């Protein structure tokens, strides 16, 4: 009997990338398949269908691919959260901690109006540091996050717990054990 493929089935694992001991969850294989990509986008927006969402915020870089598609389906605007120095014009910045060091993400200072409702989107939830920085940027502009949607959750890294501790609704299409 031919069973129905899930989003997880479209994601390949690359062993020892970017370095030894890491199991890299590669969503480019999901994006490349029209059925898989449509399934992921539909499932990401499903929990938020019927809610007022003014903007989808996508985190660099794969969150742009997903976020743009989700925004299109919801009929709302799309806003990118970029690495420092990539956005023209006036921005606000948020520093966050990486495994080794720190990074900064930015958002245009006029991208979100006070009171607008926002869905935050990215491909993968690991430690939650990038997502937390994105949430803080949106909230500094007066936006209200209605949810955070991801394709993959890596539960062992604690990102979901971190975002839920901030009061966020977190939705992930699948989870993988291991790093």
Cα separation, 172 vs 179, whole angstroms: 16
Which residues are marked as active site? 62, 99
Check whether 3 has a pLDDT greater than 80: no
Give 73's pLDDT tier (boundaries 50, 70, 90).
Answer: very high
Task: State pTM to two decimals.
Answer: 0.95
Amino acid 179: pLDDT: 63
Domains of the chain with CATH codes: 50-175 (3.40.50.2020)
Amino acid 148: pLDDT: 98
Tens of pLDDT along 13-51?
Answer: 999 999 999 999 999 999 999 999 999 999 999 999 999
Burial tier of 83 (Cβ tally within 10 Å: 0-12, 13-18, 19+) = middle
Task: For residue 41, give every residue at least 6 positions away whose Cβ sits within 8 Å of its Cβ, in sequence order, or none.
Answer: 66, 69, 70, 73
Task: For residue 18, give every residue at least 6 positions away whose Cβ sits within 8 Å of its Cβ, in sequence order, or none.
Answer: 24
SS3 content of the chain, % helix, strand, coil (to 5): 35, 35, 35
Range with the poorest average pLDDT among 57-66, 68-77, 97-106: 97-106
Amino acid 120: pLDDT: 98
Check whether 178 has a pLDDT greater than 80: no
Q: What is the mean pLDDT of the chain?
A: 95
Structure-token pair, residue 132: 């937390």
Check whether 2 has a pLDDT greater than 70: no
Residue 14, number of CB atoms within 10 A of its CB: 11
Check whether 1 has a pLDDT greater than 70: no
The label of the residue with tokens 């970029």 reads 82
Q: Which CA distances in Å does 63 have to 50, 58, 101, 131?
A: 22, 4, 22, 10
Cα separation, 109 vs 90, whole angstroms: 6
């Amino acid at each position: 009997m031919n069973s129905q493929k899930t989003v997880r089935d479209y994601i390949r694992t690359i062993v020892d990338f970017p370095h030894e001991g890491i199991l890299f969850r590669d969503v480019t294989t999901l994006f490349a398949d029209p059925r898989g990509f449509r399934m992921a986008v539909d499932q990401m927006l499903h929990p938020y269908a019927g809610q007022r969402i003014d903007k989808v915020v996508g985190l660099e870089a794969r969150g742009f691919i997903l976020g743009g598609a989700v925004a299109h389906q919801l009929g709302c605007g799309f806003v990118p959260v970029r690495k420092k120095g990539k956005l023209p014009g006036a921005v606000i910045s948020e520093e966050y901690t990486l495994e080794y060091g720190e990074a900064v993400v930015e958002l245009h200072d006029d991208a979100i109006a006070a009171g607008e409702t926002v869905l935050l989107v990215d491909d993968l939830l690991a430690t939650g540091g990038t997502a937390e920085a994105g949430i803080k940027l949106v909230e500094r502009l007066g936006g209200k996050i209605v949810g955070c949607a991801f394709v993959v959750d890596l539960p062992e890294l604690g990102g979901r717990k971190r975002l839920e501790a901030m009061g966020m609704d977190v939705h992930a299409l699948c989870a993988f054990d291991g790093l």
